[in-house]
Amino acid sequence: MKKALIKQARRARRQATKAAHVAEDMVAELGKRARRAMRNRKIKRLARRTGAVLKKAGTAAAAGAVAAGTAAVVSELVATRRRG
């Protein structure tokens, strides 16, 4: 009888600790998910702020390179015509 009570108490304690661990894991998972969401929001916010500038800078640089390239070609043509 006494042994059965001890076993029952031990089982109840195990269940309690197991439930506590599960609860801790759930809280940790929620925290992890919240941190991930915050990080994603931060990245999106930064991308919105810098992405437009980067995109514009990239297109401007490309346009500048094309313009410089065409200017060089035109100046070369003009120089050869003058010579020839």
Q: What is the mean pLDDT of residues 45-73?
A: 61
| Residue 37 pLDDT class (50, 70, 90 cuts) | confident
Q: What is the mean pLDDT of residues 29-33?
A: 85
Domain boundaries, the chain: 1-83
pLDDT band at 71 (very low <50, low <70, confident <90, very high): low
Residue type at 41 in one-letter notation: R
Q: How far is the C-alpha of 36 from the C-alpha of 28, rounded, in Å? A: 12
